[in-house]
Structure 1
Amino acid sequence: MSGTVRARVLLAAAVGSLALGCTSTDSASTGATPAADENGAGLSTRVGSEPAPLPDTVFSVLGPWNTFADDRGVHPRSTGLLREVALGLRPGEDALLIQTWGRSVPVVTDGEPTVVRCRQARCGDGAGELLLDLPTDVDPDPRYDGWYTVVDVAERTVRDLRRARREDDGSISYELMREWDLDGPGFQQPYGVGARGSGLPLLGGLIRRDELDRGAVEHALAISLPGTASGSFLQPASSTDGTGAASSLPQGARIYLRPAFRLTRPVDPATGRPQEWTPEVQLRAMLLVRALKTYGAVVVDEAPVPTLYAERTEAGQAPLLGGDELSGIGLDDFLVVDFDPEDRLAYPADDLTDEPTDGPTDGPTDDGDTR
């Protein structure tokens, strides 16, 4: 069955199972210019190449990215925590954004042997120079966080680079590397740092092109929120860069959409009318709503507005998401998954005298909630 035919079949099934407050038409308005091919590759490599595909499930099926959001109940301060994390936002500024460029993540595999080197003395899991097979035409974007995720499917390894850039000689330099087991838990021991402020992997919770194309987003999403708690985090996070009130929602917390939530189409600012959606655009929005209701979203970082992350669209690739598909969702549409006060881990730790560089753990720890 072709991707397009399968998408239409799944759309028909999803309409009956998801409450979506919109209708679809034959013309799309996603805020992006469509390219010639709507069937994007699963990895941000050279257009037309045949990279080794990622598995449908990334990281352990028992880890935080692949377990349901509603198994612990709702936090008694759910409403207050969400209000604190949104403190300072004006009405309407908590609309959910999907980042598809800039601060989102290029996921690369295969290509030409490329020198990858660290620019400083402390490099995380990096040391000296590595020779990795990388595409020559997909670069990290140093204007933002310079995120770059390199997947070796054969070795079952993921390498996150932070503040990476392409040098004049074609090599890639970076500030920090964190290496992950593609089949591991998808988080690390407390006080380990990573490319994100929370220490969580860039691939965790990423909306990937291949899963949108096949019509299945079956994992928790990664979300950044404005005023995450300063001074503490929850596992699966292992660190935090939160700047909000100490009592605010910590990084590592999980939120999920209220079961009765109904999505409405984004409004065209020029006309004030709901945008017209193709069946494919409607399907993608519904897939994300379903994931947010079932698996929820893990708070991975801090951002000016609530933000989800999609695999970065490269030149020549079809933009499968425009970024505003979920702008009808605000923070008051979410519930906070329950956690105990003692689950909060102080950051930095009282006895932490140097920057931590612990790598990924082989499984859950006893230091906090790892579900």
Structure 2
Amino acid sequence: MRSVRTAVLVAAVALASAAAAAAAPLPGAPSCPVLPPGNVWNTPVDALPRHPDSDRLVRSIGLGDALHPDFSDAGRYGIPITVVGRATPRRAVRFTYAGESDRVRYPIPVRPRIERGSDRHILMLDRDACRLYELFAARRVAGRWTAGSGAVFDLRSNALRPAGWTSADAAGLPILPGLARYDEVARGVIDHALRFTASRTRRSYVYPARHQAGSSGDPALPPMGLRVRLRASVPLDGFGPQSRVVLRALRTYGMILADNGSPWYVSGAPDPRWDDDDLHDLGRLTGADFEVVDTRTLRNR
């Protein structure tokens, strides 16, 4: 009996430790957490129940569509991260969606790293203040910065955007906490959920999302904030070392629907050390290998 009680206690401690986990900080900002321990992004969902409408929601995203890593070694794909500091100049930004943007001065360096393509995200992590500044559709026009929208997040806080507000992402979420980063894969663990896109979404959102960008109220379509995980029965044999780390994260922490885009595109930061041949193996999986998580009991701890 004592050994049973001990086993239960050990299991409870392990569960508590998992719930209190925090994602690894960026190498360039080692003193800054990527959100507090127990934040919803950093909470395992492998033990949560399957959503009762999982089959229909997965089918609407794309049952036969392949998982796709939207990041690479050459920097052509992915959302780059720029680490800045208190000495970085703060610049005014004019916003298209000013009513839902944080209208402060943004620490944009002389040559910021801008995502290629139409979204043109700029992610700036202030290593001194542990604040995350994110811009969508950022451009410098005649010496002045403009953007579609912008948001600031205190990485030591669980605070969400106001209800109904966008961010630099359609779901009103921070982007950086949902990126696959090479430094995490190199240490063998991604300990947070990842960000992904779907081609059509519902005109609604679920926690922790704060904003929707849907095309229809059809309940078969996924809402922003939907959390999906890799099925426990999917074998990981035959995948390369980088892919296996990503897949273990998708099984344990899942991924959060954050924007409209190609189905099952998983976001990451570009890095010359990514092995594209390894990452392309992720395309062996399709929507049929995933299930929607029932997150109604999940909140920031």
Q: Give the Cα–Cα distance (whole angstroms) in 2 for the partners of residues 110 and 118 of structure 1.
A: 17
Q: Give the Cα–Cα distance (whole angstroms) in 1 for the partners of residues 181 and 189 of structure 2.
A: 10
- Residue range with higher mean Cα deviation, 59-68 or 207-216: 207-216
Q: Give the Cα–Cα distance (whole angstroms) in 2 for the partners of residues 249 and 174 of structure 1.
A: 27
Alignment map for 1:117-266 (pairs within 5 Å): 117-120=92-95, 122=98, 124-127=101-104, 129-130=105-106, 132=107, 134=109, 136-141=110-115, 143-167=117-141, 169=143, 172-185=145-158, 187-229=160-202, 231-243=203-215, 245-263=218-236
Amino acid at match of 1:330: T
- Residue range with higher mean Cα deviation, 251-260 or 213-222: 213-222
Task: Name the structure 1 match of 2:263.
Answer: 305
Q: Give the Cα–Cα distance (whole angstroms) in 2 for the partners of residues 146 and 249 of structure 1.
A: 25
Number of matched pairs: 268
The superposition leaves residues 85-130 of structure 1 with CA deviations (integer Å, 9 ceiling, x where unpaired) of: 22xx8x4xx1011111566321101388445321247271124x55
Q: Which structure has the larger Rg?
A: 1
- 1:197–1:241 contact (8 Å) kept in structure 2: yes
- Structure 2 residue aligned with 1:95, among 43, 66, 77? 66
Task: Identify unmatched segments of 5+ residues in structure 2.
Answer: 1-24
- 2:81–2:124 contact (8 Å) kept in structure 1: yes
- 1:65–1:186 contact (8 Å) kept in structure 2: no
The superposition leaves residues 282-301 of structure 1 with CA deviations (integer Å, 9 ceiling, x where unpaired) of: 21111011101111111111
How far has the Cα of 1:325 moved from its partner? 3.3
Q: Give the Cα–Cα distance (whole angstroms) in 1 for the partners of residues 159 and 241 of structure 2.
A: 28
TM-score, length basis structure 2: 0.78
TM-score, length basis structure 1: 0.64
Structure 2 vs 1, CA of residues 165 and 305 (structure 1 numbering), >3 Å: closer, same or farther? same
Task: Name the structure 1 match of 2:299.
Answer: 370
The superposition leaves residues 229-278 of structure 1 with CA deviations (integer Å, 9 ceiling, x where unpaired) of: 2x21101000111235333221111111111102466xxxxxxxxxxx8x
How far has the Cα of 1:146 moved from its partner? 1.4
- 2:58–2:288 contact (8 Å) kept in structure 1: yes
Partner SS state of residue 160, structure 1? strand
- 2:204–2:212 contact (8 Å) kept in structure 1: yes
- Residue range with higher mean Cα deviation, 202-211 or 178-187: 178-187
Q: Give the Cα–Cα distance (whole angstroms) in 1 for the partners of residues 249 and 291 of structure 2.
A: 14
- Structure 1 residue aligned with 2:286, among 330, 344, 366? 330
Amino acid at match of 2:256: V
Structure 2 vs 1, CA of residues 146 and 133 (structure 1 numbering), >3 Å: closer, same or farther? closer
Alignment map for 1:23-34 (pairs within 5 Å): none
Q: Give the Cα–Cα distance (whole angstroms) in 1 for the partners of residues 30 and 166 of structure 2.
A: 25
- 2:54–2:291 contact (8 Å) kept in structure 1: yes
Instruction: Give percent identity, aligned residues only.
Output: 25
- Structure 1 residue aligned with 2:43, among 67, 73, 89? 67
How far has the Cα of 1:53 moved from its partner? 2.8
How far has the Cα of 1:335 moved from its partner? 1.4
Calculate the aligned-residue CA RMSD, in Å. 2.9
